[in-house]
Each structure stands twice: as structure tokens, then as C-alpha cells.
Amino acid sequence: MTSLVQFSVISYQLSVFFGFQRLAFGVQFFEQMVFDDPILLLMRSKLTAASLKIPVP
């Protein structure tokens, strides 16, 4: 039973880690695409905050 719990915890941590990797890669890719457009940069910051559940004024 304990090995099953450990396996589920490890798989959960791995999925969270890979999710953050994918999010960071997507943000990097997006930053390269919209390098100097302030409106798109503002939209990107709002999208990133929404995906990270951070309130943006």
C-alpha cells in the first residue's frame, strides 16, 4: 500500500514538473514571437498570470 502511495506521489511530482517545463518553454517561445509589441506583452503577462492563478490588476 505504501509503495502505491509513493508511486502516485512521484508520478504527481513528475507531472507537475513537466507541466512547469512546458509552461516555461511556451512562455519563452511566446516572448520570442512578441518581442517588442507592448500590447501583446501585456496580453502575455495577463495570460501567464491567469495560467499561474495570480491576480493582475
pLDDT tens string for the chain (57 positions)? 688 888 888 888 888 777 777 877 777 776 666 555 677 667 777 777 776 766 655
Q: Which three cell numbers stand for residue 5?
A: 502511495
pLDDT at 18: 79
Three-state SS at 14: helix
Amino acid identity of 37? D
Count of alpha carbons within 13 angstroms of residue 3, beta-carbon side: 0
pLDDT at 2: 80
Tell me if 50 sits within 8 A of 39, measured CB to CB: no
How far apart (Å, rounded) are the C-alpha atoms in residues 46 and 42? 6
pLDDT at 33: 64
pTM to 2 decimal places: 0.35
